[in-house]
């Protein structure tokens, strides 16, 4: 048993509902707090001195100075396994070309596919682990990583094996997602539907056999897969017991309605979701994931996070870290920026990068600092939690704990 503290404030995020708008007054703040952990799990959070008296045989990890403790952050949507870089695309966009125009002229996702195919599995493990570690230092103790830059049977499997290896080495928890349906590869001679059929027949069985991913994602978009094509694919994924998540409504609406139809865990992007889509999502348990990093990277509108929350939706905020649309890869910075444009409360932002993001990954064991949850924490050098969002990502954590262990 170990008691960690005292902290100027512990922001527990306990008692906040899974869905809908949240006021800052709803945040539970424990002043002069401590957290007691046993076997990687939180035994109790409360007043430091009371815990010290109550559990006199606990080892004490003494914290000096002013610090705020939060649950470890969850990044529920990334593409950090890739080769190459796309600064050339970025420069083209600055010169007025659109994301879709660049894709159509041979840049975009396909150029990353070409570069990722050239990389050995070992190199992919190395570069992906580096990025997961950068995130971990920023307090992200759980990171989702998608495939989707291989787009052939062997290269998708290579990516997923690399991600699985990162999972086994990284101190963070890594969740893998199969995104073979990112786009139809240019070297596939056949229709979109035939490509999706190939994924179902040739890759789904391997995902299970080798335990590579239990989540399936698809880019539902005019430039990738239509709603009708996506529906057939998702039906098969669902029948085979995969969890579903969708890249939805990024440029045109459609995907979010499918996410509701299939009871997906999450619908991500949603920059072009309108009133109808929001109403639909609000009637479901689908988590809406805002990806402000992609809006910043592409210079386009943000996900209507305020409207989604007001309609009663569960909002996750994720980095979408990828070489094309979201190269920054800094979740707290992006969430803080989204907040200023969308008028999100601090409580909504913090919920969106902790337990609500965990919900998008079907994880209910983390993201809240309360009895029974995983002992994953992050602390910042301040006595007022509002500073973390106020400094828009420039205030860095000074300690991160994973499974109760201080990893620096």
Q: Where do contacts with ligand NIG occur on this chain (CB under 6 A)?
A: 79, 108-109, 112, 219, 247, 250, 294, 320, 322-326
219 binds, among ligand NIG, Fe ion, none (CB under 5 to 8 A by kind): ligand NIG
Q: How far apart are CA 375 and CA 369, in angstroms?
A: 8
Reported as half-sphere exposure (CB side, CA atoms, 13 A), residue 362 has a value of: 12
CB-based closest residue to ligand NIG: 324
SS3 195: helix
Q: How far is the CB of 297 from ligand NIG (least distance, A)?
A: 8
Q: Which are the contacts of 220, defined by CB distance < 8 A and separation ≥ 6?
A: 226, 227, 230, 246, 247, 248, 254, 255, 258
Query: Could you tell me how far CA 35 lies from the centroid of its own chain?
Result: 26
292 binds, among Fe ion, ligand NIG, none (CB under 5 to 8 A by kind): none
Question: Other C-beta atoms within 10 Å of 263: how many?
Answer: 12
Is the CB of 286 or the CB of 389 nearer to Fe ion? 286
Q: How far is the CB of 111 from ligand NIG (least distance, A)?
A: 9
Q: How far is the CB of 78 from ligand NIG (least distance, A)?
A: 9
Segment lying near Fe ion (by CB under 5 A), choices 36-44, 168-176, 315-323, 388-396: 315-323
Sign (positive or negative) of CA dihedral 194, 196, 199, 202: negative
Is the CB of 323 or the CB of 397 nearer to ligand NIG? 323
220 binds, among ligand NIG, Fe ion, none (CB under 5 to 8 A by kind): none
199 binds, among Fe ion, ligand NIG, none (CB under 5 to 8 A by kind): none
DSSP collapsed to 3 states, 218-274: EEECCCCECHHHHHHHHHHHHHCCCEEEEEECCCCCCHHHHHHHCCCCEEEECCCCC
Segment lying near Fe ion (by CB under 5 A), choices 96-104, 276-284, 319-327, 386-394: 319-327
55 binds, among ligand NIG, Fe ion, none (CB under 5 to 8 A by kind): none
Q: Which of 352, 373, 371, 350 is closest to 363 using CA atoms?
A: 373
DSSP, res 284: S
Distances (CA, A) of 370 to 43, 86, 386: 8, 42, 21
109 binds, among ligand NIG, Fe ion, none (CB under 5 to 8 A by kind): ligand NIG
- The b-or-e profile of 33-64 (16+ CB within 10 A means b, else e) is bbbbbeeeebbbbbbbeebbeebeebeebebe
With beta carbons less than 8 A apart as the criterion, state whether 175 and 145 touch.
Answer: yes
Is the CB of 259 or the CB of 325 nearer to ligand NIG? 325
Q: How far is the CB of 299 from ligand NIG (least distance, A)?
A: 13
Q: How far is the CB of 90 from ligand NIG (least distance, A)?
A: 11
Q: How far is the CB of 201 from Fe ion (least distance, A)?
A: 25
Rounded to the nearest 10 degrees, the angle between the axes of helix 108-118 and helix 153-169 is: 70
Q: How far is the CB of 332 from ligand NIG (least distance, A)?
A: 19
320 binds Fe ion (CB under 5 A): yes
112 binds, among ligand NIG, Fe ion, none (CB under 5 to 8 A by kind): ligand NIG
250 binds, among Fe ion, ligand NIG, none (CB under 5 to 8 A by kind): ligand NIG
DSSP, res 199: I
Q: How far is the CB of 251 from Fe ion (least distance, A)?
A: 13
Q: Which are the contacts of 171, defined by CB distance < 8 A and separation ≥ 6?
A: 133, 136, 402, 407
Q: What is the dihedral of CA 119, 125, 131, 132, to 10 degrees?
A: 150
Strand 377-380 and strand 399-402: the pairing is: antiparallel
167 binds, among ligand NIG, Fe ion, none (CB under 5 to 8 A by kind): none
Segment lying near Fe ion (by CB under 5 A), choices 202-210, 301-309, 313-321, 363-371: 313-321
By CB under 5 A, how many residues form the interface with Fe ion?
1
Is the CB of 210 or the CB of 222 nearer to ligand NIG? 222
Is the CB of 320 or the CB of 330 nearer to Fe ion? 320
Q: How far is the CB of 207 from ligand NIG (least distance, A)?
A: 20
Interface positions with Fe ion (CB under 5 A): 320
């Amino acid at each position: 048993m170990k008691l960690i503290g005292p902290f100027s404030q512990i922001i527990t995020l306990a008692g906040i509902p899974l869905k809908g708008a949240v006021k800052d007054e709803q945040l539970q703040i424990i002043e002069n707090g401590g957290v007691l952990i046993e076997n990687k799990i939180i035994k109790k959070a409360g007043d430091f001195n009371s815990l010290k008296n109550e559990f006199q045989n606990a080892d004490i990890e003494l914290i000096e100075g002013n610090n705020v403790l939060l649950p470890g952050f969850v990044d529920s949507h990334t593409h950090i396994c890739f080769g190459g870089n796309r600064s050339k695309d970025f420069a083209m966009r600055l010169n007025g070309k659109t994301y879709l125009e660049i894709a159509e002229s041979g840049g975009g996702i396909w150029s990353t596919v070409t570069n990722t195919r050239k990389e050995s599995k070992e190199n992919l493990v190395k570069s992906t682990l580096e990025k997961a570690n950068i995130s971990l230092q920023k307090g992200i103790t759980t990171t989702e990583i998608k495939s989707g830059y291989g787009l052939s049977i062997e290269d998708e499997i290579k990516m997923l094996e690399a991600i699985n290896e990162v999972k086994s080495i990284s101190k963070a928890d890594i969740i893998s997602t199969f995104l073979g349906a990112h786009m139809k590869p240019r070297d596939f001679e056949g229709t979109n539907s035939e490509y999706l059929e190939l994924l179902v027949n040739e890759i789904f069985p391997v995902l299970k056999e080798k335990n590579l991913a239990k989540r399936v994602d698809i880019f539902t978009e005019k430039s990738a897969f239509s709603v009708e094509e996506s529906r057939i694919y998702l039906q098969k994924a669902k029948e085979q017991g995969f969890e579903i998540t969708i890249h939805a409504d990024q440029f045109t609406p459609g995907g979010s309605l499918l996410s509701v139809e299939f009871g997906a865990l999450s619908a991500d992007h949603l920059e072009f979701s309108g009133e109808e889509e929001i109403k639909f999502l609000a009637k479901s348990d689908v988590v809406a994931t805002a990806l402000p990093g992609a809006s910043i990277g592409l210079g386009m509108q943000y996900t209507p996070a305020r409207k989604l929350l007001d309609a009663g939706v569960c909002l996750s905020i994720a980095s979408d870290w990828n070489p094309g649309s979201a190269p920054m890869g800094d979740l707290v910075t992006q969430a803080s920026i989204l907040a200023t444009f969308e008028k999100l409360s601090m409580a909504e932002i913090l919920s969106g990068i902790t337990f609500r993001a965990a919900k998008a990954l079907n994880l209910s064991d983390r993201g809240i600092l309360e009895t029974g949850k995983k002992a994953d924490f992050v602390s910042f050098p301040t006595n007022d939690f509002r500073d973390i969002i106020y400094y828009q990502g420039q205030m860095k954590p000074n300690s991160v704990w994973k499974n109760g262990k201080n990893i620096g």
